[in-house]
Each structure stands twice: as C-alpha cells, then as structure tokens.
Structure 1
Amino acid sequence: MYRCALPLVLAASSLVAHAQQHRPFPAHALRGELVITQFPDATMNGKPVRLAPGSRIKGDTNLWMPPAGLTGQKLVVHYTVESSGLVMDVWVLNPVELANKPWPTTPAESATWQFIPASQTWIKP
C-alpha cells in the first residue's frame, strides 16, 4: 500500500520544486497585471486587451491553465504580444520570478534596456 503512494509524493514534490525555478522567457516578454474579464477580453495593467486565438496561459508550475477559470483574478504575468497587438503567450509568475526585478512593462522600456538571456535579467541604462 505504501509503495503506491511513494510515486505520488515524489511527483508532487517535483512540481513544487519546479514551481520555484525561474523559467526562461523571451527577450520580448513584458511584465504586467492581467485580469481576464470575459474571455477573450481582458485588461493588462488596467488597459483593455484581447487574447489571441490560440493564446496560451501557463501557471506558476508551467502547466496550461484554462482562461475561463481565471476570470476576475488579478495575476502578475509575463506576456508576449503578436504583430496584430493581441496577447499571445502568458506566464503566471512564481515567487522566484516575481523577485526578478527590474523587468520591462512596456515595449519602450524593453527597447532601451539590455536583456541578459543566461541570467534572465535586465539592465537599465
């Protein structure tokens, strides 16, 4: 009986450990506060946005999250925007990622700051 429970305990502990790691984000990812109002409509930093068809939201454990289940929640995220202006990829940040500051919140900031991919950090000019 206890042999069956051990794999579940190990799997759960690996998910917790994974949640505390810093995931690699693309250099064009911005940080913001996302609130899904009525999918696919949302607000990002208080401004109306729309999620792209095929957009993906990954939770702090890097697992996919259904957008409809997040309606009304304020989530600190990293996100990317496609060429049409729709939000494409969203990552809900874990505590390790939240502590990684500064991170640009606008395209103008990311254009003037320097991104270091190896350490996933930004340097302000």
Structure 2
Amino acid sequence: MEPFVSGQFRSFIITGSHWINTMYRCAFLALATTACAVPAIVQAQAVQRNFPQNALRGALVIRSPFEATLNDVDAQLTPGVRIRGQNNMLQMSGALIGAKLLVHYTLDSDGRIDKVWILTPEEAAKTPWPTTMAQAQAWSFDPIAQVWSKP
C-alpha cells in the first residue's frame, strides 16, 4: 500500500511537522518566559517607594483586623485599610496581628489609619521623619529625595 504523500514531501511532513516535533516549541517558550521574568525581578528589587507628604512614622501593633495600637495609643483601622509590606505588596491586617511594625502611615478625615507602609531597613534609616502632624507642618519635605529637614 502506497502512502498518500510520497517522495520529498513525505520526509518534510514527518520531520518538519510542528505537531509531531513539539520539543523545540517548549524550549522556546521556557527561554522566552525566563527572558521576560528576569528584568521584572531585577526591576522590582530596585524600586524606591515614594511616600506622600502627609505620611507619618510610627510603631504599629495590629490587635484585630480593625483595631491597632499606634505609638502606644489605641487606634482604629479603616475598613479598606491598605497595608503594604516591605516588598510593596498588599498585606492582610489579620495576618499581621500581634506583630510590632515600624511603619509610615496616613490618616483619613476621621483620624483612622488609612494607608500603611511597613518599612525596610533602608527606609527606616532615613531620619528625621515626623511622628506627629505638628512636626510634619513645621518641617519641610523634599518629595524627590524623600527626606525631611527641620527648620
């Protein structure tokens, strides 16, 4: 019985088929994924977080998903509080219960904690940083360098 395709075309179809020889596609996909992932990882490690001018520094202990102690004073978290970890990814308040954290934070109009950034050692080394609203109003802030200067 003679195959439907013969001669030169038969060898091309069997050896050059994308459906039969799939290994090179897998290798290409793995190489492309790695090439795209490496720059993203390097870039994520080198990102400097920019804090708003109204961000204050404090010691935060989360007692429950809606209650905390901020600088040894009872405080409330807003229902939509955004807590960013040292890697700048969102953290759930329930996962941080009991941990003592050095943070930058902002307050909403009702005086509740609205946004929180857990500081890295490099960010914590930047001093001075205001701990009260009175200090923040009296000092000057450079948003590009992310530093405060006392008058």
The residue type equivalent to 1:118 in the other structure is I
Q: Which has the higher contact order (CA 8 A, sep 6+)?
A: 1
More helix, by proportion: 2
Give the 3-state SS of the residue equivalent to 1:110 in structure 2.
Answer: helix
More strand, by proportion: 1
From 105, 112, 118, the counterpart of 2:144: 118
Is the 1:30–1:107 contact (alpha carbons within 8 Å) kept by the matching residues of 2? yes
Matched, 1:104 2:130: yes
1:26 paired residue number: 52
1:72 paired residue number: 98
In 1: Cα distance, 2:36 partner to 2:98 partner: 32
Deviations 1:51-71 (A, max 9, x none): 012110000111000110000
CA RMSD of aligned residues (A): 1.9
Relative to the length of structure 2, the TM-score reads 0.73
Is the 1:49–1:86 contact (alpha carbons within 8 Å) kept by the matching residues of 2? yes
Unpaired segments of 5 or more residues in structure 1?
none
From 52, 55, 62, the counterpart of 1:36: 62
In 2: Cα distance, 1:8 partner to 1:57 partner: 28
1:48 paired residue number: 74
Unpaired segments of 5 or more residues in structure 2?
1-26
The alignment-based identity, stated in percent, is: 41
Relative to the length of structure 1, the TM-score reads 0.87
- CA drift of 1:111 comes to 0.8
Is the 1:22–1:96 contact (alpha carbons within 8 Å) kept by the matching residues of 2? no
Is the 2:64–2:93 contact (alpha carbons within 8 Å) kept by the matching residues of 1? no
In 2: Cα distance, 1:47 partner to 1:101 partner: 22
4+ runs deviating over 3 angstroms: 1-9, 11-15
Which one has a bigger Cα radius of gyration? 2
- CA drift of 1:22 comes to 3.0
